């Protein structure tokens, strides 16, 4: 049953607003002699990772940030990678460090994250920052994708207090931090974290006033999973083969958009929804790291 024409939550437009805020703050920091610096480390030659890293470096340039792109061969050992991280930790010109995932299977990603100075962990994955998120301590860094989702929900004027929210996916990158943000004081949502082994997953999702899908399974959320009038935030983005496209693929979200959108009061598209917000919030975290480490205030 269609409810209305859904409101499309435009991530590109909102991301542009966030980046404008970052650019203005960076200009003020520059007047104090400080240039925010982000180092991005890429291990191997994974094509999507190369695209993501290039986008992050390009955005740094547009904002007047200093960026370093460090590309290491897939044969890099864990010890060698942590050595690179140690060098970046000690570099005063680097305020944010991001090690692009996925990493080669021989490298323990958790150990690499723990090696990053938590004050420079602009991804928000270090255990210290995870703990601060759980404790609602604002001195930590929040992972960029959940932070971007929260900014979109707020900008759309969606009421979260008392709302039933279902997050599909329990990853440390999206699902778990998303749930913590939604349960925080001042947001006050009632949160269910579901996953592939949840019993009657479709019925769980149908309870949601706000449904957040972060599974990496294209088209998983169908029309009969969604309550009429719900808000759908689609975090998933997967390359699906498509011979009609010059690239040979198209990008798909976790939500079957064409059949779900008519049921929703608001929905994010893929592409152009959550994705641009992730990079925007990375820049905001890098700016904040520069401010904290320098003691300067833009």
Token pair of 71, please? 């590309």
The angle formed by the CA atoms of residues 292, 146 and 183, to the nearest 5 degrees, is: 95
Active site residue 121: no
- CB of 112 closer than 8 Å to CB of 99: yes
Of 121, 123, 234, 254, the catalytic one is 123
- CB of 34 closer than 8 Å to CB of 297: no
Of 100, 176, 209, 234, the catalytic one is 100
Active site residue 123: yes
Active centre residues (catalytic): 56, 100, 123
């Amino acid at each position: 049953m269609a409810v209305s024409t859904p409101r499309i939550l435009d991530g590109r437009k909102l991301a542009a607003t966030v980046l404008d805020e970052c650019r203005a703050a960076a200009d003020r920091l520059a007047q104090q002699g400080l240039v925010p610096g982000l180092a991005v480390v890429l291990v191997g030659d994974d094509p999507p990772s190369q695209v993501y890293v290039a986008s992050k470096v390009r955005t740094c340039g547009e904002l007047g940030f200093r960026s370093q792109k460090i590309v290491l061969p897939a044969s890099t050992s864990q010890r060698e990678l942590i050595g690179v991280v140690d060098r970046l930790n000690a570099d005063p010109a680097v305020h944010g460090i991001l090690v692009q995932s996925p990493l080669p299977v021989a490298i323990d990603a958790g150990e690499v994250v723990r090696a990053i100075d938590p004050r420079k962990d602009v991804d928000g994955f270090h255990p210290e920052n995870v703990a601060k998120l759980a404790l609602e301590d604002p001195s930590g860094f929040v992972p960029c994708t959940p932070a971007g989702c929260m900014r979109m929900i707020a900008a759309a004027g969606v009421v979260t207090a008392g709302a039933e929210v279902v997050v599909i996916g329990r990853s440390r990158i999206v699902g778990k931090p998303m749930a913590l943000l939604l349960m925080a004081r001042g947001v006050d949502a009632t949160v269910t974290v579901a996953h592939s082994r949840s019993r009657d997953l479709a019925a769980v999702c149908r309870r949601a006033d706000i449904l957040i899908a972060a599974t990496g399974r294209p088209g998983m959320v169908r029309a009969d999973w969604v309550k009429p009038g719900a808000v759908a935030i689609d975090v998933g983005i997967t390359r699906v083969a498509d011979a009609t496209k010059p690239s040979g693929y198209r990008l798909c979200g976790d939500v079957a958009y064409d059949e779900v959108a008519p049921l929703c009061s608001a929905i994010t598209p893929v592409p152009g929804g959550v994705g641009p917000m992730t990079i925007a919030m990375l820049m905001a975290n890098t700016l904040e790291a520069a401010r904290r480490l320098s003691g300067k205030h833009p």
